[in-house]
Amino acid sequence: MAQRASRLALLSNQHQNTEKALTLWIELEPNSLKAHQIAALLHAKHNADSKTLFHLKRVAELANQQGKSGYLQAAAIAEKSNTPGKALALMQQITAGQQQNPAALYALAVTANHAKRHDIAEQQVRTALNLKPGWPQARLLLARTLILQGNPDAGLDELKAAVADNPSDKKLRTTLARTLLEQNQTEQARAHFIKLHQQSPENADIGYALGVLSTQLKHYDEAKEYFTSLIEHGQKKDDAHYYLGLINEIQEQHDNAISHYQQVSGGGNQIDARLRTARLLTNKGEIKRARELLQRLRLRTPQHQLRINLIEAELLRSTGDFASAMGIYDSALKADPDNLDLLYARGINAADLGAIEQMEQDLRRILDKDPNHADALNALGYTLADKTKRLHEAKRYIERALALQPDNPAILDSIGWVEYRMGNVEQARHHLEHAAQQSKDAEIAAHLGEVLWQLGLHREALQIWQEAMQREPRNRFIRPVRKRLTGSEQGRLPQSK
């Protein structure tokens, strides 16, 4: 009854009633580990330090007698104190006189890390290792402590040595693999995940991690094997289908990609899978199917309506249907008139429709709210350079954007284009080549090709346009400029005089 009363009082957050019930419980069962755990937790949360300390010592003592990690249990409760510093002070008192006890020192190191006193943690865990050489759990804690101190190389060295000494310890190897990932050493991480997979081929998390890493490293065939195996074993099917869709999309196997995306029936990737399907359908010329898919998605997931609207309008724009895209932007902005993403998208679309006044109005509204909105500065400058004779004004906007994002290929393209429009062809070429190194965007290729053509570098221009068409056969930028300059849809060299 005392035990039940204690639990009910604790759940009801009645401090005095809980303490009374606990006192009775402990009187009846003085060696109850659970009673002392609850009492320590109660007093830790209410800053009753002396009472907390008493019960934590009993927790450590009783748990150790039962063959459990008593000091770690005490540390976990101490860390519920109102401040990490208080938790550390409590554990220092509990472990006083235990300098020859590696388990006590280990628990103290854990709490020291919790309190961000990594220097104390390192000292204690090293002492524990001197008392118990090679202890894998302590070596793992030492590695984590070194990394927390800002010394990832030393932490990794400790982990690698620990794994070499304990090659079958899955926890050590998993920690090493994940730490290598955190340090962007992806190939080494993958090698350790492969060994883990060999040790535990049924482990879905390891198989999935290997699939993702192999995808990131462009080992697509191996990635497909891992994801296919997961599906065959009924594990992580939604995630596996999503990544198989991504890989097939990268490899331009679009029908296969769509098939896998359509089998993503849940999870965090479901929305993205549907949106990617819509893009692929549009690229195949099936814009009607794409829009129907998006409409069904919009009805099922109204919380994603903004994202879906932006994607649908973008797909319409990719087909040249700027008027329908404008209808979507107008409707969305009626519901959310101050949304900067919508204002930006409508401004860009207005420029493509030749509605320069609307474009300026939308982009200036953005800049009124965020003067350092690099995309809006760039779009305004580029459009003024491309559609008007206000070239010096355009250049000022683009230069402001470039100062904010000096390596942004879209902004480099804009500064190159305004230089070209101002007659500075060599400077234009410099910026556009820099942009083309950063991005394979078809519009950049169209601009660079035009500049090269004007410089008499006709073969180079044709090659750039051809490569862009191979990458994006349905892009809307290359054909018009190529026909305008060469007089041919396919592009041809000028005849020698």
Q: What is the pLDDT of residues 192-240, one digit of tens each?
A: 999 999 999 999 999 999 999 999 999 999 999 999 999 999 999 999 9
Judge whether 31 lies within some domain. no
Is 209 a member of any domain?
yes
Which of the residue ranges 31-35, 153-157, 399-403 would you say has the lowest mean pLDDT? 31-35
Q: Which of 77-86, 210-219, 259-268, 349-358 has the least mean pLDDT?
A: 77-86
Tokens 């009846």 belong to residue: 28
C-beta atoms surrounding 412 within 10 Å: 26
Q: What is the pLDDT of residue 10?
A: 47
**Mean pLDDT over all residues of the chain?**
92
Indicate whether 64 belongs to any domain. Answer: no
CATH value at residue 289? 1.25.40.10
Mean pLDDT, rounded, for 78-90:
88
- Going by C-alpha positions, the residue among 361, 364, 354 that lies closest to residue 386 is 354
Q: Is residue 178 part of a domain?
A: no
Kindly state whether residue 305 falls inside one of the protein's structural domains: no
pLDDT of residue 162: 96
Which two structure tokens, joined as six digits, stand for 471?
């990458």
Q: What percent of the chain has pLDDT over 70?
A: 95
273 CB contacts (<8 Å, ≥6 apart)?
Answer: 241, 242, 245, 261, 262, 264
Give the domain-ending residue among 253, 283, 300. Answer: 300
Tell me how far CA of residue 110 lies from CA of 119, 132, 334, in angstroms.
Answer: 12, 17, 54
Residue 422, CB-side half-sphere exposure with 13 Å CA sphere: 20
Lookup: tokens for 67 = 């063959």
> Of the ranges 12-21, 74-83, 263-272, which one carries the lowest mean pLDDT score?
12-21
Answer for the pair 415, 398: CB distance below 8 angstroms, yes or no. Answer: yes
The DSSP call for residue 495 is P
Look at residue 9 and tell me whether its pLDDT is greater than 50. Answer: no
DSSP 494: P
pLDDT at 473: 87
Q: How many domains, in total, are found in the chain? A: 2
Q: Does residue 217 sit within a domain?
A: yes
For residue 291, how many other CB atoms are within 10 A of its CB?
Answer: 17
Does a structural domain hold residue 134?
no
Residue 103 lies in a domain: no
Last residue of a domain, one of 248, 282, 300: 300
Kindly report which listed range (26-40, 304-318, 398-412) carries the lowest average pLDDT score: 26-40
Is pLDDT at 7 greater than 60 in this prediction?
A: no
Contact 231, 241 (CB under 8 A): yes
Distance of alpha carbon 191 from alpha carbon 27, whole angstroms: 57
In this predicted structure, the answer to whether residue 1 has a pLDDT above a threshold of 50 is: no
Instruction: Pull the structure tokens for residue 424.
Output: 């500075």
> Band of the pLDDT at 355, cuts 50, 70, 90?
very high
Q: What is the pLDDT of residues 54-81, one digit of tens each?
A: 888 998 898 889 989 899 999 999 998 8
> How many Å separate Cα 361 from the centre of its chain?
34
Residue with more model confidence, 355 or 318? 355
Query: Does the pTM exceed 0.85?
Result: no
Q: Which of 29, 59, 72 is nearest to 3 (CA)?
A: 29
pLDDT of residue 17: 56
- Locate tokens 């606990």: which residue? 22
CA distance 197 to 222: 13
Cα 247–chain centre separation: 18
Which domain range does residue 483 map to? 440-496
Residue in 200, 154, 214, 198 with CA at minimum distance from that of residue 179:
154
Model pLDDT, residue 426: 97
Give the DSSP letter of residue 304.
G
d(CA 3, CA 25): 6
**Residue 18 pLDDT:** 67
The token pair that represents 470 in the structure block: 């191979």
pLDDT digits (tens, 9 = 90+) for 134-176: 999 999 999 999 999 999 999 999 999 999 999 999 999 999 9
Does the structure show a pLDDT above 60 at 11?
A: no
Give the residue from 300, 318, 341 where a domain finishes: 300
Q: How far apart are CA 188 and CA 181, in angstroms?
A: 8
Instruction: Answer yes or no: are the C-beta atoms of 374 and 405 closer than 8 Å.
Output: yes
Please state the rounded mean pLDDT for residues 314-342: 95
Return the sign of the alpha-carbon dihedral for residues 259, 260, 265, 267. negative
Residue 12: the pLDDT is 46
CB atoms under 10 Å from CB of 484, counted, come to 10
475 membership: H or E segment, kind and range: none
